[in-house]
Amino acid sequence: MTSDVPGADVRQATAADAPTVGRLLHDFNTEFDTPTPSAQDFAARFGELLGRGDVLVLLADHGDEAVGMAYLTLRPTPYGQGPLAELEELYVVPKLRGQGIGSALITAALERVRARDAIEMRINVDEIDTDARRFYERHGFASTVPGTGSRMLCYLRELEEGRPMPGTPPGPTGYPGHNDA
């Protein structure tokens, strides 16, 4: 799939892309001072994940370099015949932000999950991340329950203390990689 961004192509990642996906996710976490596994640990994990039918990773290539990624999971839901899609991570390297690569990734992600008959896509965004909130709102996402105006919240609880991914110390909430209280 080719995006509308000059010089940027969006494609589905394969197991061979695991090191690239690992590097991008590590760079994302490092940029925002989030405790993170190493790029190699992420690469090993994505080597496993990319072969699953319920995981979708898209890469945005600019020339010969991957400069952005979208990582999605799909799960069954009783509210429809298709799955629920969750955008776990979306990242574009800082030097190329504002050029439509994030929009190309989210558009491609929506197209791909629609093709899998997903009934909705969810995204969790930190409240203080106003840039991300504006980005997702521009692309049709809302932080309120449709038709009610009731605000949606996300809660997390660590289930197994001391079992973060290798190389990741738990954040203050105990959830690896999350620093929000």
Identify the CATH number of the domain in which residue 28 sits. Answer: 3.40.630.30
Q: What is the pTM of this model?
A: 0.84
3 state DSSP class of 80: coil
- 41 membership: H or E segment, kind and range: helix 39-49
Residue 168 inside a domain? The answer is no
d(CA 25, CA 58): 12
Q: Which residues make beta-bridge pairs with 65? A: 62
Tens-of-pLDDT digits for all 181 residues of the chain? Answer: 444 556 689 999 999 999 999 999 999 999 989 889 999 999 999 999 999 999 999 999 999 999 999 999 999 999 999 999 999 999 999 999 999 999 999 999 999 999 999 999 999 999 999 999 999 999 999 999 888 989 998 888 888 776 565 555 555 444 444 444 3
Phi/psi of residue 108, each to 5°?
Answer: -65, -40
DSSP state, residue 164 = P
Hey, how many other C-beta atoms are within 10 angstroms of the C-beta on 26? 19
Domain range for 127 is: 8-138
Hey, how many other C-beta atoms are within 10 angstroms of the C-beta on 98? 9
Count how many domains the chain has: 1
Hey, how many other C-beta atoms are within 10 angstroms of the C-beta on 67? 21
